[in-house]
Amino acid sequence: MKFKIIVCLFATMLISAILTPFVRALAFKIGGVDTPNKRRMNKIPMPTLGGLAIFIAYTCATMFMLRNQMPSQQLWGIFGGELIIILTGITDDVYVLKPHQKIIGISLASLFVYFFGNIRMNLVTLPIVGSFHLGLLSLPITWIWILAITNAVNLIDGLDGLATGVAIIALTTMGLIGTFFLGTSSVFVVIMIFALVASCIGFLPYNFFPARIYLGDTGSLFIGFMISVFSLNGLKDATLISVIIPVIILGVPITDTVFAIIRRVLNRQPISHPDKRHLHHRLMQIGLTMRQTVLVIYGIALIFSFISLLYPISNVAGSILLTIATLIGLELFVESISLAGAHRQPLLHGIRWIVKNTTSRSNHLKRF
């Protein structure tokens, strides 16, 4: 069984790699092309729709490996949501949708997997407080979770190979946690996760700098949606730690999204207002090349992944301390690159004030 899965995953990677040039030609033919402008990083027209190759390879793999093993309702329920997301992404890549129109597409896919795939958050267990059923809150919380993660992955798709590589790192981490810590109940989800990893790996050589094709919203929305769905399979009976783990795994896109919202609110701009102060923009503005920026963000994603692997082997106190340390380190990093704005560095200013006053007091005591 294990050998069969490995062979299927390798075949999935090859299918993705073989399909990508054909999808590239299709993108030019139907107008799924990114034309250079002041907001784009590309200097020449670049085909999008790359996510279509990933979707087809992934679908072939999961349908072949799981069609007689996974509950059919769940399998087809997830597949229905995937189709809605793919159609939304293709439409956006060809015709350019408005933000609220993309949200409608993501919401429809969320409703489909919620009602037909039974992918939802039902029970929450918190330390001290105890367990409680979400009841009617299950639907809005599930919707918010899918919408937030899908959009987070969509937002970081700004450089050659960036979203694809970060997704590979995040998905591999989720797969490892599912394999070693969640038991046999997650075997179907783990197979689906690694099928998506294989599909992304087959596509990455065409997408890494210098890219020959972009993921497009077809790819970034699909990958983000699938990550949210996979994580929800471990959140049906959610605990504080089971919620934190996927958030830490997706630390790069979530951080970028959160600080983009903060930045726009502080600047009194609409949340959907585009700017060039995302994480990858800031790293390039301080002097890194595109390739260096992508590799640095890969490194940051790996750090988040290593941190997330510590949670399953930590107790509650250790997990809380780990979370606090991660948040402090993250805040110092985003302030050092001015992700929220050049003059919004409260923690760094506080540290400088403490160091300055400590040094002044020490010098004053020395005089006596």
pLDDT per residue rounded down to tens, the chain (368 residues) = 677 888 999 999 999 999 999 999 999 999 999 887 666 666 788 999 999 999 999 999 999 888 777 788 888 999 999 999 999 999 999 998 998 999 999 999 999 999 999 888 887 766 666 677 888 899 999 999 999 999 999 989 889 999 999 999 999 999 998 888 765 457 888 999 999 999 999 999 999 989 999 999 999 999 999 999 998 876 665 666 778 888 899 999 999 988 888 888 888 888 777 778 889 889 998 989 999 999 999 999 999 999 999 998 888 788 889 999 999 999 999 888 888 776 778 888 888 888 877 776 666 556 55
Residue 217 marked in a binding site: yes
Q: Which of 37, 154, 152, 36 is nearest to 92 (CA)?
A: 154
Q: Which of 121, 101, 31, 114 is nearest to 74 (CA)?
A: 114
Q: Which of 345, 348, 334 is nearest to 258 (CA)?
A: 334
- Helix, strand or coil for residue 69? coil
CB of 163 closer than 8 Å to CB of 156: yes
Q: Where are the domains of the chain?
A: 2-337
Residue 154 marked in a binding site: yes
Specify the pairing of strand 237-239 against strand 130-133: unpaired
Specify the pairing of strand 130-133 against strand 46-47: unpaired
Q: In Å, how far are 105, 176, 218, 232, 313 from 180, measured between CA atoms?
A: 34, 6, 32, 18, 11
What is the CA angle 161-167-171, rounded to 5? 150
Structure-block tokens of residue 12: 């999935």
Q: In what order do the strands lie in the sheet with 237-239?
A: 130-133, 123-126, 237-239
CB of 133 closer than 8 Å to CB of 165: no
Q: In Å, how far are 140, 142, 229, 309 from 236, measured between CA atoms?
A: 14, 10, 11, 20
| Residue 47 β-bridge partners | 33
What is the CA angle 330-235-85, rounded to 5? 85
Query: φ and ψ at 341, to 5 degrees?
Result: 145, 155
